[in-house]
């Protein structure tokens, strides 16, 4: 039996609603994470790209993508998240720049033709919610990408979560419960019944192996944050100086991509390219 429960994830995010926006704004550390994610979009998304955003939520990244004058399709599993995404687009003046809003599951993109998009943006962790269906989801992402197309993939990270929440969550929970999660990477009733947030946390090795199995070329692998972990007050002070803030963000970005620190943040970010067309991804 699959661990992926589509109905549970949909209901969780229907109820989560506007908290999806608030989580990126609630602290300076979350704002640093947002900056790191956005860096790769600025680096690789070009004006006029055809883009599909998967698990777009309330539109934290949608607005930036719309500013690129892209041919943009926005999707989410949750109709509530998609409704809020539309409302945010109207309120901020980019509604007309979105081509479509669609309810879609990252594991089944059959409504979209193969080789359709220059870019696939899958930030915020959609792949962490599909558990044992992750290869199916990655295969679908590759299928809808054009040759030489680029996908932006964000997943929850096991060791980075331990790093950031050691004192808040990890140590207060009994060792036996923690070890069930550590062995599997799963916050799920099969391993940890206390959490309603069902998700899979990846290690860097696991993510790289999965991407290789599907046939993606890895362009960049990054932590979502590194130097900012457990330094909220210090980072807030740094932001008071524009010069120091810009330098800090540069250091953070470089640290996040260093081999020794790539698992230091709560999320892993992978930038990948589809280099070939095989029989499984030819135009339907």
**Is 284 a domain residue?**
no
Q: Among 186, 262, 256, 190, which Cα is nearest to 227's? A: 256
pLDDT attached to residue 277: 58
Within a domain: 207: yes
Tell which wins on pLDDT, 14 or 190.
14
Q: Tell me, yes or no, whether 189 lies in a domain.
A: yes
Which pairs count as long-range contacts for 206-211, CB under 8 Å and 24+ apart, including other chains? Answer: 207/155, 207/268, 207/270, 208/270, 210/134, 210/135, 210/138, 211/138, 211/153, 211/270, 211/272
CB 257 within 8 A of CB 40: no
In a domain, 231, yes or no: yes
Residue 280 lies in a domain: no
Q: Give the per-residue pLDDT at 283.
A: 42
Q: Which pLDDT band holds residue 280 (cuts at 50, 70, 90)?
A: very low
DSSP conformation class of 25: T
Specify the pTM. Answer: 0.94
Q: Is residue 282 part of a domain?
A: no
Cα 32 to Cα 194, 229, 247, distances in angstroms: 29, 10, 13
> Does residue 281 form part of some domain?
no
Q: Residue 268: which domain range?
A: 6-275
* pLDDT at residue number 278: 53
Q: At what angle do helices 134-144 and 204-214 cross, to 10 degrees?
A: 50
- Tell me which of 61-75, 134-148, 234-248, 270-284 is least confident: 270-284
**H and E: helices and strands count for the chain:** 11, 9
Check pLDDT > 90 for residue 253.
yes
CATH number of the domain encompassing residue 152: 3.40.50.150
If one counts the domains in the chain, the total is: 1
Tell me, yes or no, whether 88 lies in a domain: yes
């Amino acid at each position: 039996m699959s661990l992926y429960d589509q109905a549970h994830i949909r209901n969780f995010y229907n109820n989560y609603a506007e908290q999806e926006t608030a989580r990126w704004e609630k602290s300076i550390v979350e704002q640093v994470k947002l900056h790191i994610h956005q860096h790769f979009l600025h680096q690789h998304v070009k004006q006029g790209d055809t883009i599909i955003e998967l698990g777009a939520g309330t539109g934290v990244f949608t607005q930036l993508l719309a500013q690129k004058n892209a041919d943009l399709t926005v999707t989410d599993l949750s109709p509530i998240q998609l409704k809020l995404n539309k409302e945010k687009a109207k309120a901020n003046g980019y509604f007309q720049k979105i081509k479509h809003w669609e309810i879609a599951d990252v594991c089944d993109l059959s409504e979209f033709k193969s080789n359709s998009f220059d870019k696939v943006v899958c930030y915020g962790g959609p792949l962490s919610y599909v558990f044992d269906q992750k290869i199916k989801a990655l295969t679908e992402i590759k299928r809808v990408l054009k040759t030489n197309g680029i996908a932006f993939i964000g997943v929850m990270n096991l060791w980075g979560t331990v790093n950031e929440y050691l004192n808040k969550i990890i140590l207060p929970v009994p060792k036996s419960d923690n070890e069930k999660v550590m062995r599997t990477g799963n916050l799920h009733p099969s391993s940890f019944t206390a959490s309603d947030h069902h998700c899979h946390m990846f290690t860097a090795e696991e993510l790289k192996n999965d991407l290789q199995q599907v046939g993606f070329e890895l362009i960049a692998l990054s932590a979502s944050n590194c130097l900012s972990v457990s330094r909220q007050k210090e980072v807030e002070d740094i932001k008071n100086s524009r010069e120091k803030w810009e330098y800090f963000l540069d250091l953070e970005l470089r640290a996040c991509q260093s081999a020794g620190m790539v698992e230091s943040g709560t999320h892993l970010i992978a930038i990948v390219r589809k280099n070939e067309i095989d029989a499984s991804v030819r135009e339907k």
